[in-house]
Amino acid sequence: MLFRQLFDHESWTYTYILADARSLEAVIIDPVLEQSARDLEILEDLGLTLKYVLETHLHADHVTGAALLREATGAKVAISQASGVQCADLLLGDGDRLAFGTHELLAIATPGHTNSCMSYLCEGRVFTGDVLFIRDVGRTDFQQGSPEKMYRSITEKLFALPEATLVYPAHDYKGRMVSTIAEEKARNTKVGSGKSYAQFQQLVAEMKLGQPKKIHIAVPANMQCGKMQLEAGA
């Protein structure tokens, strides 16, 4: 399987491309609008046919490139059915599977950062969005955030995966690119080392974060798969 991890410096967002080496069918996870030309160039250079554009959740810190990529490639846009996004081609539920070539990707509902959070598992890699970070977790103080839901998503679903599973988050603010389930179970500062829900709740409550700079633009734009920004000439 072909695999690429890409980065947007403004929003600190990781975008991922996975592709079948024989059929050249591909999926992209969490594309950023401003990086669409880069993403399309990579797809063209590798001769890939984009089959799915996947969102881990309704983002508040960047505008998605989903609509532009769909328009350019004919790919289908997929997001959680809990997102309320009507422009998506596929609204995914927990346990849904998407095939690209000989590979299959499993959608795992992991609410907590938002109700729409979906992690994607594919052959020893899990893409955790803004729920499980490297040594940290996402915020729970807006967009239907819930410490209880996040704790259960991490401890009951993600931590139940094989410990060798590679963890690829949607962001990292310290330059780290990948972790493992075993590492996060042992060392995650908010939920690792067997921390109780009470401990987790207190640690999350102590997070003091400002609102994302683009929240008032990103959320309404992402409800339209980024198309509002395209129409505005972004």
* CATH number of domain containing 78: 3.60.15.10
pTM of the complete model beyond 0.85: yes
Task: State yes or no: pLDDT of 232 exceeds 80.
Answer: no
* Residue 38 neighbours by CB under 8 Å, 6+ apart: 6
- Overall average pLDDT of the 200-218 stretch: 90
| Residues sharing a CB contact under 8 Å with residue 188, sequence separation 6 or more, in sequence order | 132, 135, 136, 137
Q: Across all residues in the chain, what is the average pLDDT?
A: 95
User: Token pair 């409550």 is at which residue?
Assistant: 205
pLDDT band at 194 (very low <50, low <70, confident <90, very high): very high
Instruction: Kindly report, residue by residue over 66-82, the tens digit of the pLDDT.
Output: 999 999 999 999 999 99
Q: What pLDDT is recorded for position 228?
A: 59
Q: How far is CA 12 from the centre of its chain?
A: 12
SS3 157: helix
When divided into structural domains, the chain yields a total of: 1
Query: Does 92 have pLDDT greater than 70?
Result: yes
Q: Are 76 and 87 in contact (CB under 8 A)?
A: no
pLDDT at 30 over 60: yes
* pLDDT over 70 percentage in the chain: 97
pLDDT band at 142 (very low <50, low <70, confident <90, very high): confident
Range of the domain at 52: 2-231
